[in-house]
């Protein structure tokens, strides 16, 4: 549960989300709330954490095995009209702009596609809308006539963002929006998202494996490992003093250009376990430097420690720096 | 630098009328990790390919000098280049899984490659197992196919191959860019060890200055085919002199700093 | 253009290495694709021959029901470039007019096959599931038979004529296109930009027309060009066996059939129509091969 109290019904609520693909449980009971914007919620995880499945469940590209996803307090069930309305209110920006844009469609048409699908503006106004969206994301309006391969990676990602914004969504899901880009370009895109947040009061779910990216844009963070949230709370707290060993490792792994900030890096042994065959007890214990007998047998539950929730038997010791 | 391992001089790489690389000089010392940093399109990858004599297969024309110890590689006969590739200079890429033959088990891949470079069957098997242990992978992985490996495992295999072949120089082209951040930390750690324990010289190509800062002794910054600044990492990234380097450094997102 | 100034302007320097894409200058294309040029030239020549047949043929009436009993089986000469046939008709004129028939059959057959096969393939690839099962099974049944045999079977139960030839061959031809398109459509459907469109709420109909179809069509274009030769050969085979065009239609296959009895002595009856079939098939094959090279997505859509 979020450490931040929600005063009214949250904009987006995910409750005990479980997503299974056959015998594999990709998402194992994830819950969080997104209040109305401006607000950034980060879902931090690496390959095998289930973050992609959470994103796809949010976009209704896969169906949840159990659990609820509510927009404005109500769940979207079945009916295609409700689904279409949901699809207008919740938009996604995918990781790789090279494949998320149709190579044979001009940029302008790509951006206008959601507009046309939801019949939001009159035909005569579409051109103007496209031009203003392009300008908003920092692109020259004449790019509407170009094809994706004529644009650089960063420019393509801006187009993807423009497309997502075209229908004035209430929630934006950003799935690793900068991972496929050069680091220097990443900064500009993050800056763009920050600007859009300010100007449009955006509420977004940002999925990333990089804590540096998350820190810039999100007030609240949840760390995913093997389909479960292992730490969840205010971003600042979590980054300043992580309570879960995995978060510690993630934090430690972020490379820094500032040589004065050098410290010994934690290198985790092994790899992420196969979600079809999770370890007993705490799912992280085989790789954890602080694992004890209890970790091997008992699955830790999320509990409140030092201002955030964390699923670790030794969280208090870790936060206090005793290990 | 006295006795550099790899020395590039007056290297010009052109595609028809377009010049993509125009280097005055670049040297990689023995046992050194040199970073080659720049954005996409700066020419860093094609430079590495040119060292191995592979740029011409893409249609490029290479002029100038690339010396490995005392031997000139530009213009060397293909047969000589084939001997050098792998056994003296190895290269690893951004996407390791796709650079491994999907139809071969890892063990078979090692066997074939090692035997091509002169090992007997038994010797090849031993070297392969030893190399895997060196990169902290279980020899069980020799039985797997590339698609069964994770990105991190595949990259370790690629490095193990260079170790098994006893390469002296490793060209690493964005080896961690496609990897998760903790896996990246593992691979960087591995590269450091490989340099310490084997004395391998590494040319580390990356667009990520922070990663370069973590790993490299020296760094050369490339822009549109030219080196604009070069020197010890701490100096170049801490107190850049060139405008482009300054802008690059300033644009790297830093943790602990709000936009 | 509004820019937020806190980070320096690095991105404008990014090099975009891709060429602008689509086919540009025709001379440039020709220089780099000699096969395509030759094939295209031959196809254009055949087209012109067909269109200008009445002007090119020396004895246009011989392409119809005229007969000349006094001039039968004459060898090639200045008067009759390809000689005359068993009822005295000028072979040259008949071959020239034949250029109207075979390609016409091919165009009709392929148009029908594309109109039936492509939509079915796209539906199967995009929707998957039960739709795919049903369409694929039906397609498999047709594909299990060699095209020629199937066409023969159909033609045999129908009255021999050009129309029925077209129908018989079309029935056997469309499944190939379904098969080709299905794979392509399924692959395109899995790509992120289609998922993106779905996630955005774009209706199926729009996705199919604007995304799936344009991205699946290239192999069909190539296949159609390559198939022209095949259809012509099949139609000729049917005519040869007496199941297609009938006398006095100057169909090349029919001419070969009628001339085979005289082959050892009056070689010109078989050779010239046969050569016409051969050259037409080659022409379209070259065109198809050339198009395939030119339309290779790696050429058109090179990215970093």
C contacts of B39 (beta carbons < 8 Å): 10, 13-14
Q: Between chains, do B252 and A250 touch, taking CB under 8 Å as contact?
A: no
Strands A171-175 and A90-93: parallel
Q: Are C35 and C294 in contact (CB under 8 A)?
A: no
State pTM to two decimals.
0.81
pLDDT value at residue A4: 52
pLDDT, one tens digit for every residue, chain B (259 residues) = 778 999 999 999 998 889 999 999 999 999 999 999 998 889 999 999 999 998 888 888 999 999 999 899 998 998 999 889 888 999 999 888 777 888 889 999 999 888 888 888 888 889 999 999 999 898 889 999 988 888 889 999 999 999 999 999 999 999 998 888 999 999 999 999 999 999 999 999 999 999 999 999 999 999 999 999 999 999 999 899 999 999 888 888 777 654 4
Query: Does any CB of chain C come closer than 8 Å to the CB of residue B257?
Result: no
Of B166, B193, B227, the last residue of a domain is: B166
pLDDT value at residue B241: 94
- Domain locations in chain A? 12-319
Segment 238-267 of chain A within 8 Å of chain C by CB: none
Q: Between chains, do C8 and B247 touch, taking CB under 8 Å as contact?
A: yes
Q: Kindly tell me the sign of the dihedral angle through the C-alpha atoms of A22, A28, A33, A38.
A: negative
C contacts of B40 (beta carbons < 8 Å): 14-15, 304
Q: Between chains, do B39 and C6 touch, taking CB under 8 Å as contact?
A: no
Question: What residues contact C127, with CB distance under 8 A and at least 6 apart?
Answer: none
CA distance A87 to A90: 5
User: Which chain A residues touch B if contact means CB-CB below 8 Å?
Assistant: 46-47, 152-153, 182-188, 190-191, 194, 209-213, 215-217, 239, 249-259, 261, 265-269, 271-272
- Pick from C191, C196, C203 the residue to mutate for testing the A interface (most A CBs within 10 Å): C196
Of B150, B166, B182, the last residue of a domain is: B166
pLDDT value at residue C7: 32
Which residues is A231 bridged to in the sheet? A223, A310
- DSSP structural state of residue C90: B
pLDDT tens digits, residue range A234-251? 999 999 999 999 999 999
The set of chains that have 3 or more CB pairs under 8 A with A is B, C
The mean predicted confidence, pLDDT, of chain A is: 89
Question: Hey, what are C137's tokens?
Answer: 């099974």
CATH number, residue B188: 3.40.50.300
The set of chains that have 3 or more CB pairs under 8 A with B is A, C
Q: Which residue of B has its CA nearest to C4?
A: B259
Q: Quote the Cα angle for B251-B252-B258, to 5°.
A: 90
- pLDDT band, very low/low/confident/very high, at C190 (cuts 50, 70, 90): confident
First-residue to last-residue Cα distance in chain B:
41
What is the CATH code for C29-300?
1.10.3720.10
Which of the pair, C29 or B190, is modelled with greater confidence? B190
Same domain, B34 and B128: no
pLDDT value at residue C5: 29
Q: Between chains, do A183 and B209 touch, taking CB under 8 Å as contact?
A: yes
Q: Between chains, do B181 and A47 touch, taking CB under 8 Å as contact?
A: no
- Residue of B180, B213, B238 lying closest to A255 (CB–CB): B213
C contacts of B223 (beta carbons < 8 Å): 13
Same domain, B63 and B177: yes
Query: Does any CB of chain B come closer than 8 Å to the CB of residue C159?
Result: no
CA distance C106 to C250: 16
Closest to A155 measured CA to CA, from A175, A137, A176:
A137
Q: Between chains, do A91 and C199 touch, taking CB under 8 Å as contact?
A: yes
- pLDDT band, very low/low/confident/very high, at A263 (cuts 50, 70, 90): low
**E-strand stretches of B29-88:** 33-37, 61-68, 71-72
- Quote ipTM for the complex: 0.85
- Could you tell me the CATH superfamily of domain A12-319? P-loop containing nucleotide triphosphate hydrolases (3.40.50.300)
Q: Between chains, do C14 and B223 touch, taking CB under 8 Å as contact?
A: no
- pLDDT band, very low/low/confident/very high, at C3 (cuts 50, 70, 90): very low
Residue A208 has pLDDT above 80, yes or no: yes
Of B123, B141, B166, the last residue of a domain is: B166
CA distance A59 to B192: 42
Query: Does any CB of chain C come closer than 8 Å to the CB of residue A63?
Result: no
Cα B141 to the chain's mean position, in Å?
23
Q: Between chains, do A268 and B39 touch, taking CB under 8 Å as contact?
A: no
pLDDT value at residue C24: 47
Residue C281 has pLDDT above 50, yes or no: yes
- Residue of B40, B182, B211 lying closest to A250 (CB–CB): B182
Residue A67 has pLDDT above 80, yes or no: yes
Same domain, B39 and B142: no
pLDDT value at residue C296: 62
What's the number of CA atoms in the CB half-sphere (13 Å) around residue C140?
Answer: 7
Residue C59 has pLDDT above 60, yes or no: yes
CA distances to A26, A85, A125 from A119, in Å: 36, 12, 11
B contacts of C13 (beta carbons < 8 Å): 39, 223-224
pLDDT value at residue C28: 63
pLDDT value at residue A8: 67
pLDDT tens digits, residue range A190-203? 999 999 999 999 99
What's the CA dihedral at A63, A69, A71, A77 to 10 degrees? 50
Q: Which residue of B has its CA nearest to A247?
A: B182
Domain that holds residue B139: 96-166
Helix residue ranges, H only, chain C: 26-32, 34-51, 53-56, 91-127, 129-143, 147-157, 162-189, 192-200, 204-207, 213-216, 218-240, 252-259, 268-294, 297-300
Question: Hey, what are B148's tokens?
Answer: 């069964």
What's the CA dihedral at C67, C69, C71, C74 to 10 degrees? 90
Same domain, B199 and B238: yes
pLDDT tens digits, residue range A1-15? 444 555 567 899 999
Secondary structure class of B18 (helix, strand, coil): strand
Residue A260 has pLDDT above 50, yes or no: yes
- Domain locations in chain C? 29-300
Q: Between chains, do A152 and C11 touch, taking CB under 8 Å as contact?
A: yes
The helix, strand and coil proportions of chain A, stated in percent and rounded to the nearest 5, come to: 35, 20, 40
- Residue of B40, B210, B259 lying closest to A255 (CB–CB): B210
pLDDT value at residue C31: 67
Same domain, B185 and B162: no
CA distance B87 to C192: 40
Q: Express as a percent the part of chain A with pLDDT over 70.
A: 95
Q: What is the mean pLDDT of residues C245-267?
A: 86
Q: What is the mean pLDDT of residues A114-129?
A: 88
CA distance A27 to B227: 47
Number of domains present in the structure of chain B: 2
- pLDDT band, very low/low/confident/very high, at C303 (cuts 50, 70, 90): very low
CA distance A224 to A207: 10
């Amino acid at each position: 549960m979020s450490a931040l109290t929600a005063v009214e019904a949250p904009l987006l609520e995910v409750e005990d989300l479980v997503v299974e693909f056959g015998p594999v449980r990709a998402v194992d009971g994830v819950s969080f709330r997104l209040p109305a914007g401006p607000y950034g919620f980060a879902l931090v995880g690496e390959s095998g954490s289930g973050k992609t499945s959470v994103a796809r469940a949010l976009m209704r590209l896969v169906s949840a095995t159990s659990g609820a996803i509510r927009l404005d307090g109500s769940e979207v069930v079945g009916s295609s009209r409700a689904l279409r309305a949901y699809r207008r209110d919740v938009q996604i920006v995918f990781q790789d702009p090279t494949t998320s844009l149709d190579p044979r469609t001009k940029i302008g048409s790509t951006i206008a596609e959601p507009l046309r699908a939801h019949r939001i503006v009159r035909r005569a106004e579409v051109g103007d809308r496209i031009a203003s969206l392009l300008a908003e994301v920092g692109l020259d309006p004449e790019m509407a006539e170009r094809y994706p391969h004529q644009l650089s990676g960063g420019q393509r990602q801006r187009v993807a963002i423009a497309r997502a914004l075209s229908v004035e969504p209430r929630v934006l899901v950003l799935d690793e929006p900068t991972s496929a880009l050069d680091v220097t370009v990443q900064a500009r895109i993050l800056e763009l998202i920050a600007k859009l947040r300010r100007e449009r009061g955006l509420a977004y779910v940002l999925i990333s494996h990089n804590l540096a990216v998350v820190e810039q844009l999100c007030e609240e963070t949840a760390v995913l490992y093997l389909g479960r949230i292992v730490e969840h709370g205010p971003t600042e707290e979590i980054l300043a003093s992580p309570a879960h060993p995995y978060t510690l490792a993630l934090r430690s792994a972020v490379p820094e250009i500032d040589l004065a900030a050098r410290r010994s890096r934690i290198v985790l042994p092994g790899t992420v376990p196969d979600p079809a065959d999770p370890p007993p007890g705490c799912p992280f214990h085989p790789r954890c430097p602080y694992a004890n007998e209890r970790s091997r047998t008992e699955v830790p539950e999320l509990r409140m420690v030092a201002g955030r929730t964390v699923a670790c038997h030794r969280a208090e010791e870790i936060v206090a720096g005793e290990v | 630098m006295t006795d550099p391992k790899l020395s590039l001089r007056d290297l010009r790489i052109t595609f028809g009328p377009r010049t993509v690389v125009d280097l005055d000089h670049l040297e990689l010392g023995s046992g050194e990790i040199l970073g080659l940093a720049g954005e996409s399109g700066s020419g860093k990858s094609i430079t590495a390919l040119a060292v191995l004599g592979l740029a011409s297969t893409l249609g490029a024309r290479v002029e100038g000098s690339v010396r490995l110890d005392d031997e000139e590689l530009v213009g060397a006969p293909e047969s000589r280049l084939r001997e050098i590739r792998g056994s003296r200079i190895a290269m690893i890429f951004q996407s390791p899984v796709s650079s491994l033959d999907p139809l071969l088990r890892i063990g078979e891949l090692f066997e074939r490659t090692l035997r091509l470079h002169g090992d007997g069957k038994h010797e090849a098997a031993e070297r392969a197992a030893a190399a895997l242990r060196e990169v902290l992978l279980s020899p069980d992985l020799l039985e797997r196919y590339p698609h069964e490996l994770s990105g991190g495992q595949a990259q370790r295999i690629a490095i193990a191959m260079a170790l098994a072949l006893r390469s002296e120089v490793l060209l690493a082209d964005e080896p961690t860019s496609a990897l998760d951040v903790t896996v990246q930390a593992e691979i960087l750690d591995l590269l450091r060890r490989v340099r310490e324990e084997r004395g391998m010289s590494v040319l580390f190509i990356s667009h990520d200055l922070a990663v370069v800062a973590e790993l490299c002794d020296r760094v050369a910054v490339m822009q549109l085919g030219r080196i604009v600044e070069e020197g010890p990492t701490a100096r170049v990234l801490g107190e850049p002199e060139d405008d482009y380097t300054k802008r690059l450094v300033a644009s790297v997102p830093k943790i602990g700093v709000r936009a | 253009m509004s820019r937020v100034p806190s980070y320096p302007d690095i991105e404008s320097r990014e090099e975009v290495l891709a060429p602008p894409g689509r086919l540009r200058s025709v001379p440039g294309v020709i220089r780099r694709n000699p096969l395509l040029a030759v094939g295209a030239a031959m196809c254009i020549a055949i087209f012109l021959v067909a269109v200008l047949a009445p002007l090119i043929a020396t004895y246009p009436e011989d392409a119809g029901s005229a007969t000349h009993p006094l001039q039968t089986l004459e060898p090639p000469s200045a008067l009759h470039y390809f000689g005359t046939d068993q009822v005295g008709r000028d072979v040259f004129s008949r071959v020239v007019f034949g250029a109207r028939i075979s390609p016409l059959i091919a165009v009709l057959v392929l148009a029908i096959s594309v109109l039936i096969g492509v939509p079915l393939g796209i539906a199967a690839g995009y929707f998957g599931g039960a739709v795919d099962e049903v369409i694929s099974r039906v397609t498999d049944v047709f594909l299990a038979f060699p095209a020629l045999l199937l066409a023969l079977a159909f033609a045999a139960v129908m009255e021999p004529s050009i129309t029925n030839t077209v129908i018989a061959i079309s029935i056997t031809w469309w499944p190939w296109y379904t098969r080709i398109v299905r794979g392509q459509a399924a692959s395109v459907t899995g790509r992120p930009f289609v998922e993106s469109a779905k996630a955005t709420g774009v209706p199926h109909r729009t996705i199919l027309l604007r995304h799936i179809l344009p991205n699946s069509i290239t192999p069909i274009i190539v296949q159609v060009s390559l198939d022209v030769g095949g259809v012509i050969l099949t139609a000729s085979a049917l005519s040869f066996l007496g199941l297609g065009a009938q006398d006095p239609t100057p169909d090349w296959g029919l001419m070969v059939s009628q001339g085979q009895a005289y082959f050892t002595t009056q070689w010109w009856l078989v050779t010239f129509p046969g050569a016409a079939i051969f050259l037409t098939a080659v022409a379209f094959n070259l065109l198809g091969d050339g198009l395939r090279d030119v339309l290779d997505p790696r050429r058109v859509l090179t990215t970093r």
